[in-house]
Structure 1
């Protein structure tokens, strides 16, 4: 199943098989099918039955130890590509459809598909069909190994009794993870704030808010409402109230669900004879072992902990000076850190993040991002009118500049709405295949301010666009290895590297070329300020990232059954510079550890090690199309058909190292 990388027309069962694609050019473009909620259950059952029939034929093929892997793997990939044609959109629509009934029907279908996939990978006949092949080249060998690993991680080698229990566990986990995400995503709660509590916020922000009959403002948990409030609202008590509610938006139920997931994951690991879920999950990752992950996190923590404390002291000194109070009375709380950090940035660096929206209008930022990507990778983005799930969603054909060949499709869903996935993410809905000519499709989902982006949001846009390009520019032999189907602790690296394009003058200065009406142009002075702002808060940022990663590992260790997630969080957050805030419930809305990144959050920093190392190949010219083409061919086009370390070696011409990363987190990286 697809996981986000992080945030329909009526069709009958009989017509779905031939109408599942919308073609503007019948020989090239493949777009996403559109559904009605009431049709999904029957469509879901029909597609599962169709795949069952195809797999029956597959398992009945004569076997021999001399089977050529190429033909067997090609048939397998063709079957599962046809399956992805259905379940890829279903996974997307369960998170983005404006229709609550359709989201629920898609979720129910996802549960059926998850259970069916468990059946597939516990089928010994299918396993033997793959195992009894001989690969003739490295790509087939890697795909064969990946498939065998999928069977083995689904318990093909276990006893019938353990297989049955594993199937129950996986089904329960799928339901729990869905409910957890739904509780966060669909929370309708609105907090009431008086006009006085909004002092400090710009009028442009206030004008977007709804009022109640008493004239007070109603704010929900969407990013464009929450983040500016925490950075700009002068009322300390209002910020505290909002932050506590924000951390509790998953509800008490999500703490129960998280504990259930922890216990089930531990039991799963026990079925495989592993001491912990972390040990089980790290198999086939770049890090490989629990010890390697914990050492990495320990090294990062040792580096950033002093920086975090230094930055907290700097904020206290600034607060004391601003309020004209003794330093001993100055205190920075977790709910006031963003507020005082923003004030310090304005005072020390003259950077007002709300003013940055004037430099980066949302549409201009998108046009600019298309342009720099086109230059770097030799591609074009051509808008096309296709059926979409909401009227503001955009679609683009992505083509090669030299050949005109269609490379893939891109959907862009930029703005917040009720019931939509609340952060920024990319769904690699379809994988591409050079063997069959199948084209990849990525869906980029964000929740941006309609008027403009601040510099942090621009980085987010570029980051997620990097994921989308990783999918679209993939030219792998097999669709199952397309795009972001790489090791989990490498998957963020291409996107993290691309963030640098949102920080340098050579690229940022070009945003103004796409502004209509005109907007201010980024100059040397502003770049220097933005770099200073980027450097500021480095300790706070990486300390928090380390905390999240260490917490993730703590929940999935060998003593998982004995701990409660909120108790562990209170203890771990309590030992940080700001401590634990009473009544907050961060674990109940930590979507990463319930959405595919469990025992994987460390991967954000692990990937950044590789991202910054790969960035060195561009030197001082980020717009170099020669390096861009080499990167496109050696990294992006390869998807997961090579081990990630080999990809990086191919691009850099050497083994990767971590020097650039530790220079970055200590503020010593030369730009």
Structure 2
């Protein structure tokens, strides 16, 4: 299915014309209350049904590009204008009632999408429409696959069951996400448990009158605590609470999701959900995924076991024993000690090198030079006073390309991870310019080096949408194969690892301590320390995801305990990580492998820049050949066109082994 609800993208209301003039600056609708959101959502759904009626009324013999394919894209645009601002604000709006209304709107849009793609009359008209060129042909293929995946060709009883399953699966995924997002539980640690925590951390968390602290589960609170708190019992308590925060209610949802996805695959006489999902992706089938994961396992697992041994020895030395067992709540703490010992790297201390908001200036300056862009601050309505907005223009022509919102800092009820929401798509046919919203939870004073990578990653997603030059909105930006969508963003993380790019921080922050070549070498060496355990964990996530999508899926918690127990760190009885695994409760089911698959493509594409990541000729070529084409060209063809050869995973496996310089 194309996924009005599953893709983080939304759009605006324009009649389509072959040579429409670009609109003036668009903006995200900011809803003052739930009633306003509900009205906008209902209007958009009603308008989409009317648009579908017009397509359905076209005689099959007259079906063509203008009255069917382009008309469908126009319907998509008009629907997105109402639905995707609501989708965004289900994740970021300060008012819980608005967030809840946004979730209801997402579910209503999903029901409509299923209804449209199960409509036999609409399917016949799309099938009858003769494409005029390759772009039209790709749009037609995309739509026909969405019809098939929604069950239009199934016998009536199976089609009805598919509709019920798809709607229920979407509802369960939204509830799973909401349970995590709306979790406002906190932990209190006494003053006696705070040894080792940096002063800057203690200054930014909630302090209590008795000298203790109160913390929640946002990343800026959890990860620094785990890396620095010397009290192992406190780390264990926080770890258990963090991995159990989804609770039994999310485990129950995951069990039902697993069962329903398996039933959905069975309606198509497919062995399992992995076959249903991967047939539309670069890999093509589950066997290709499993072969890839075996290669990752062979490369990384022996290194991960060796790394656990190194950290366990460090723990034994610190606690004064001959041997010690490394526990999951010890990993980040002793990795941090090892970084400090070997390379004099302290992630928390790095925040003074990467201060906010100067890092925003640096990220945008890099993107401007790399992709020939210009960013201009402007005042527009926003949903929170910490949100900022930029017009994005082509640096050469001055043409307006799109809008970028930055929602960078944590607050109660906000989406707790990092994501780029493509809330409005591009369409040259409609003269339509896109909007992206970058959502993170950064510390206001500054970033760690890992967070610098995250910032670049998410800006990569945002720009993938903003520089789109696709004819149709349904192909805009990140609307590409799931196992390719991360590649342009993962590629951009490399700009956080090179002297020539990090030295440019001095341009936006002359008083910052210099990020010189010697520091960059230490940063990269320290980063390579955690590669074995990082990729071993990614391998675990991917294998678990594929296990739940297998031909005979096991119980989610039983499968997790067995798979995690086989890793170097083992499983901790009483912990329930699957209840927090929002990726596979949502659109990444049978797709988590895509993070590593995409990274293999990303690191291969980085090689095109050679020794100069700021080579503008390569950056502009990447913008034109890959980013601007979105999904109107198959992902494999985009990669081949940019590399001028077949992709190779050599750089990725060097990275996995910690050998890539």
Q: Could you state the TM-score of these two structures normalised by the residue count of structure 1?
A: 0.94
Corresponding residue for 1:258?
254
Are the equivalent residues in 2 in contact too, given 1:70–1:140 (CA < 8 A)? no
1:222 lines up with 2:218 in the alignment: yes
1:50 lines up with 2:47 in the alignment: yes
1:39 lines up with 2:33 in the alignment: no
Corresponding residue for 1:445?
439
Q: Find the aligned partners of 2:476 and 2:266 in 1 and give their Cα distance.
A: 32
Query: What is the deviation of 1:526?
Result: 0.4
Q: Find the aligned partners of 2:571 and 2:23 in 1 and give their Cα distance.
A: 58
Q: Map Cα deviations across residues 71-104 of structure 1 (whole Å, 9 max, x no partner).
A: 5321111111011111111111101100000000
Runs (5+) with no aligned partner, structure 1:
7-15, 19-24
Q: Find the aligned partners of 2:207 and 2:293 in 1 and give their Cα distance.
A: 45
1:538 lines up with 2:531 in the alignment: yes
1:636 lines up with 2:611 in the alignment: no
Q: Find the aligned partners of 1:291 and 1:508 in 2 and give their Cα distance.
A: 40
- How many pairs align? 649
**2:476 paired residue among 482, 488, 493:** 482
Q: Find the aligned partners of 1:260 and 1:213 in 2 and give their Cα distance.
A: 45
Query: What is the deviation of 1:582?
Result: 1.7
Q: Find the aligned partners of 1:175 and 1:496 in 2 and give their Cα distance.
A: 30
Corresponding residue for 1:420?
414
Q: Find the aligned partners of 2:502 and 2:5 in 1 and give their Cα distance.
A: 33
**1:393 paired residue among 387, 391, 413:** 387
Distance 1:533 1:17, change over 3 A: closer
Q: Find the aligned partners of 1:27 and 1:297 in 2 and give their Cα distance.
A: 46
Query: What is the deviation of 1:594?
Result: 1.1
Corresponding residue for 1:368?
362
Q: Find the aligned partners of 2:417 and 2:30 in 1 and give their Cα distance.
A: 23
Query: What is the deviation of 1:324?
Result: 4.1
Q: Find the aligned partners of 2:606 and 2:207 in 1 and give their Cα distance.
A: 47
Are the equivalent residues in 1 in contact too, given 2:478–2:631 (CA < 8 A)? yes
1:567 lines up with 2:558 in the alignment: yes
**1:74 paired residue among 70, 83, 98:** 70
Q: Find the aligned partners of 1:351 and 1:210 in 2 and give their Cα distance.
A: 27
1:553 lines up with 2:546 in the alignment: yes
Are the equivalent residues in 2 in contact too, given 1:100–1:419 (CA < 8 A)? yes
Q: Map Cα deviations across residues 195-215 of structure 1 (whole Å, 9 max, x no partner).
A: 111110111111222244654
1:589 lines up with 2:564 in the alignment: no
Q: Map Cα deviations across residues 274-300 of structure 1 (whole Å, 9 max, x no partner).
A: 110111111120000111101110111
Report runs of 4+ in structure 1 exceeding 6 Å deviation: none
Are the equivalent residues in 2 in contact too, given 1:359–1:512 (CA < 8 A)? no
Q: What do you get for the CA RMSD once the two structures are aligned?
A: 1.7
Query: What is the deviation of 1:46?
Result: 2.2
Corresponding residue for 2:269?
273
Distance 1:71 1:379, change over 3 A: farther
Q: Find the aligned partners of 1:572 and 1:337 in 2 and give their Cα distance.
A: 18
Q: Find the aligned partners of 2:23 and 2:253 in 1 and give their Cα distance.
A: 47
Corresponding residue for 2:654?
663
Are the equivalent residues in 2 in contact too, given 1:474–1:483 (CA < 8 A)? yes
Map 1:88-127 to 2 at 5 A: 88-127=84-123
In structure 2, the residue corresponding to 1:396 is in which secondary structure?
strand
Q: Find the aligned partners of 1:70 and 1:227 in 2 and give their Cα distance.
A: 53
Q: Find the aligned partners of 1:67 and 1:168 in 2 and give their Cα distance.
A: 30
Q: Find the aligned partners of 1:213 and 1:403 in 2 and give their Cα distance.
A: 58
Runs (5+) with no aligned partner, structure 2:
15-20
Q: Find the aligned partners of 1:168 and 1:529 in 2 and give their Cα distance.
A: 54
Query: What is the deviation of 1:657?
Result: 1.1
In structure 2, the residue corresponding to 1:635 is in which secondary structure?
helix
Q: Find the aligned partners of 1:320 and 1:252 in 2 and give their Cα distance.
A: 35
Q: Map Cα deviations across residues 162-202 of structure 1 (whole Å, 9 max, x no partner).
A: 11111111111121111111111111111010011111011
In structure 2, the residue corresponding to 1:33 is in which secondary structure?
coil
Q: Find the aligned partners of 2:615 and 2:303 in 1 and give their Cα distance.
A: 35
Q: Find the aligned partners of 2:147 and 2:427 in 1 and give their Cα distance.
A: 22
In structure 2, the residue corresponding to 1:429 is in which secondary structure?
strand
Corresponding residue for 1:295?
291
Query: What is the deviation of 1:649?
Result: 0.9
Q: Map Cα deviations across residues 323-343 of structure 1 (whole Å, 9 max, x no partner).
A: 4431xx222111100000001
Q: Find the aligned partners of 1:410 and 1:461 in 2 and give their Cα distance.
A: 14
Are the equivalent residues in 2 in contact too, given 1:397–1:408 (CA < 8 A)? yes
In structure 2, the residue corresponding to 1:484 is in which secondary structure?
coil
Query: What is the deviation of 1:527?
Result: 0.9
Q: Find the aligned partners of 1:509 and 1:530 in 2 and give their Cα distance.
A: 13
